[in-house]
A = this chain, B = another copy of it.
């Protein structure tokens, strides 16, 4: 059991969502839609007697990762390298949880299925208060639509059958935990409305448009984000971070200094 396993998990920006809570973490989650990104997190796991977690070379503690290792009953050294900023709405914690689940399953021969690993990672995120919908999206790839909340077999996914270049820029972090554990009635009503609009015609332009409307109605815009959204028609906000994303070249053409990637065609993949 000294095998080192490496798994890449795409980043994920949610554009619109509603919150759905249940007693069971596997049934808790969000409905909504987002984009998985070719920028993501590479998780490198090695069985070890003492558990340790690193992110971009620094020792750290990540609740969902511990939760996954506890559930699988294993200890390991987990080193994650992220293309994306942490706490800015890119699903880095979900990627670490899912990558750890996949890598540990292989390294320790746990013999779980894809759905079982997604469920372990989703429950870890929900229990830690760090996310509601990233894991199921990151396990799927593409432009996932979360029709029903929760992990397999409860959640139900669809997707937008298109791809594009994605541009993004980040002003800083927002606490997912603060927003999703507070009152979410207004947010969820806006999210349900936006999802209905998207499902009616699941295209990327409609996704961006529904996301913009959602961000305004859910009252989540920060001054920096609002300024860019006022300036660039095709831009929207990543939930939950002080991050703006857009398709194609909308942001760079408007003069913003952006990072660039693509919609990722696959979910978690072994490296």
Measured CB to CB, the residues of A under 8 A from B are 102, 105-106, 109, 111-117, 141-142, 145, 152-153, 156, 158-163, 199, 201-203, 265-270
Contacts and interface: CB of A to CB of B under 8 A. Distances in A.
A159 B113 contact: yes
A268 B163 CA distance: 11
A21 to B, nearest CB: 24
A103 B115 CA distance: 29
A190 B108 CA distance: 31
Closest 4 CB pairs of A and B: A266-B266, A114-B159, A265-B266, A265-B269
A162 B106 contact: yes
Nearest to A106: B162
A155 B55 CA distance: 38
20 contacts: A102-B161, A106-B161, A111-B201, A111-B202, A112-B161, A112-B202, A113-B159, A113-B160, A113-B199, A114-B142, A114-B159, A115-B159, A116-B158, A117-B161, A141-B266, A152-B158, A161-B268, A163-B270, A265-B267, A266-B266
A141 B270 CA distance: 13
* Residue with the greatest number of chain B CB neighbours at <10 A, chosen from A106, A114, A116, A117: A114
Given A153-B156, A156-B153, A161 B265 contact: no
A163 B145 CA distance: 26
A115 B266 CA distance: 16
Contacts of A109: 203
Contact of A160 (B114, B141, B266): B114
A126 B249 CA distance: 41
Which of A105, A113, A160, A162 counts the most B-chain CB atoms under 10 A from its CB? Answer: A113
B269 A202 contact: no
Contact of A161 (B113, B141, B156, B201): B113
Contacts of A199: 113
A205 to B, nearest CB: 10
Contacts of A267: 265-266
